[in-house]
Structure 1
Amino acid sequence: MCGMELASPRKAAPGDKVAVLSPAFAAPGVAPAVHEQAMERLAALTGLVPVEYPTTRKLGATPQERAADLNAAFGDPEIRAVLATIGGDDQITVIPHLDAALVRADPKPFLGYSDNTNLLSWLWTHGVASFHGGSTQVHLGPGPAVDAVHAAGLRAALLTGERLEITEPGESEDLGKDWGDPAALTEHGDREPTEPWTWAGPAHAVTGRTWGGCIEVLQQILTAGRFPADPAVLAGGVLLLETSEELIPAHEFGRIVRSLGERGILAAVDAVVVARPPTSSFDVHPNAVERAALRAEQRDAAIETVQRYNPDAVVVVGVPFGHTRPQWILPYGGTVTVDGASRRMWADFA
Structure 2
Amino acid sequence: MSTDAHGARRRTLLRGAAGLALGAGLAGRSAFAAERLPLVKPPRLKPGDTIGLINPSSAIYERGPYELATETLQAMGFRVREGAHLRARHGQFAGTDAQRAADVNAMFADPGVNGILALTGGSGGNRILPLLDYAQMRRNPKVLAGFSDITALINAVHARSGLVTFHAPVGVSEWNEFSLRHFRGVLVDAQPITMRNPQDKGDLPAPKEDRIQTIRPGVARGRLLGGNLAVLSALCGSAYLPAFDGAILFLEEINEYIYRVDRMLSTLKLAGVFDRLAGVVLGAFTNCTPGDGNYGTLTLDEVFDDYFGTLNVPVYRGAMIGHIRRKFTLPLGIEAEVDATAGTIRLLEAAVA
Which residue type is aligned with residue 213 of structure 2? Answer: T
SS of the residue 2:309 aligns to:
helix
Contact 2:45 2:114 in 1 (8 A): yes
Compute the displacement of 1:50 (Å): 1.0
Compute the displacement of 1:262 (Å): 2.1
Counterpart of 2:53 in structure 1 is: 20
Aligned with residue 250 of structure 1, among 251, 258, 264: 258
Which residue type is aligned with residue 122 of structure 1? Answer: A
1:134 maps to 2:136: no
Which residue type is aligned with residue 110 of structure 1? Answer: L
- In structure 2, relative to structure 1, the CA distance for the partners of 1:115 and 1:96 (3 Å cut) is same
- In structure 2, relative to structure 1, the CA distance for the partners of 1:152 and 1:24 (3 Å cut) is same
- In structure 2, relative to structure 1, the CA distance for the partners of 1:280 and 1:32 (3 Å cut) is farther
Contact 1:133 1:322 in 2 (8 A): no
- In structure 2, relative to structure 1, the CA distance for the partners of 1:42 and 1:94 (3 Å cut) is same
Distance across 1 between alignment mates of 2:39 and 2:170: 24
Per-residue CA deviations over 1:112-141 (Å, capped at 9, x if unaligned) read 1111111111111121111112111123xx
Compute the displacement of 1:32 (Å): 2.0
Counterpart of 1:200 in structure 2 is: 215
Counterpart of 1:267 in structure 2 is: 275
Gaps of 5+ in 1: 140-145, 172-191, 287-293
Counterpart of 2:306 in structure 1 is: 304
Compute the displacement of 1:72 (Å): 0.5
Per-residue CA deviations over 1:36-65 (Å, capped at 9, x if unaligned) read 1221221222x2211101221222210101
Distance across 2 between alignment mates of 1:235 and 1:280: 28
Per-residue CA deviations over 1:302-350 (Å, capped at 9, x if unaligned) read 2321234x2x211111112111212222111223321135443324552
SS of the residue 1:338 aligns to:
strand
Contact 2:257 2:291 in 1 (8 A): no
Within a 5 Å distance, the mapping from 1:217-232 to structure 2 comes to 217-227=231-241
Contact 1:11 1:158 in 2 (8 A): yes
Within a 5 Å distance, the mapping from 1:74-85 to structure 2 comes to 74-85=108-119
- Which has the bigger relative contact order, CA under 8 A and spacing at least 6? 1
TM-score, reference length from structure 1: 0.79
- In structure 2, relative to structure 1, the CA distance for the partners of 1:304 and 1:95 (3 Å cut) is same
Counterpart of 2:320 in structure 1 is: 320
1:234 maps to 2:244: yes
Counterpart of 2:42 in structure 1 is: 9
Compute the displacement of 1:197 (Å): 0.6
TM-score, reference length from structure 2: 0.78
Which residue type is aligned with residue 248 of structure 2? Answer: V
Which residue type is aligned with residue 78 of structure 2? Answer: L
Distance across 1 between alignment mates of 2:211 and 2:217: 18
Q: How many residues are aligned here?
A: 301
Per-residue CA deviations over 1:5-29 (Å, capped at 9, x if unaligned) read 42111112211211011111232xx
Distance across 1 between alignment mates of 2:146 and 2:104: 13
SS of the residue 2:267 aligns to:
helix
Which residue type is aligned with residue 155 of structure 1? Answer: R
Contact 2:256 2:287 in 1 (8 A): no
SS of the residue 2:142 aligns to:
coil
SS of the residue 1:7 aligns to:
coil
Contact 2:89 2:96 in 1 (8 A): no
Pair member with larger Rg: 2
Counterpart of 2:191 in structure 1 is: 162
SS of the residue 1:207 aligns to:
strand
Distance across 2 between alignment mates of 1:223 and 1:234: 13
Distance across 1 between alignment mates of 2:288 and 2:67: 27
Counterpart of 1:89 in structure 2 is: 123
